[in-house]
Amino acid sequence: MNGIHDLGGMHGMGPIDAETDEPIFHAEWERRMFALMLATFANGSFKGDEFRHAIERMEPAEYLNTSYYEHWLHSLERLLVEKGQVAPGELEAAWKNAANAADAEGAA
């Protein structure tokens, strides 16, 4: 495969700047994303090849403009909908409700 999702070793992409003492997770949501992925693999919701294929189906511009764990989130959301474990639109509604709750909490 030779797509935008296979950047490793690709010429012209510039150096990879390693962060000194980089933490495993930069934010709490990344830690939660990691746990969710482990749980969905453990309960057999999907397999590793399905997970990777869902990431590879991201639009190239979206892939390049999102972080590692955002790729995971995209894959998890897509697979849960495709496998009928979550209804289409249900996740979007949940995200909006969470954002509204956070906004209301911040305004208080």
Which residues of the chain are under the pLDDT cut of 70? 1-14, 108
Kindly state which CATH superfamily the domain 28-107 is placed in: Nitrile hydratase, beta subunit (1.10.472.20)
- The pLDDT of residue 81 is 92
Label residue 44 left, alpha or beta by phi (over 0 means left) and psi (-120 to 50 means alpha): left
In this structure, are residues 3 and 56 in contact, taking their beta carbons and an 8 Å threshold? yes
- The pLDDT of residue 59 is 92
The domain locations on the chain are 28-107
Q: Nearest-CA neighbor of 72 among 84, 55, 48?
A: 55
pTM for the predicted model, two decimal places: 0.75
- The pLDDT of residue 97 is 82
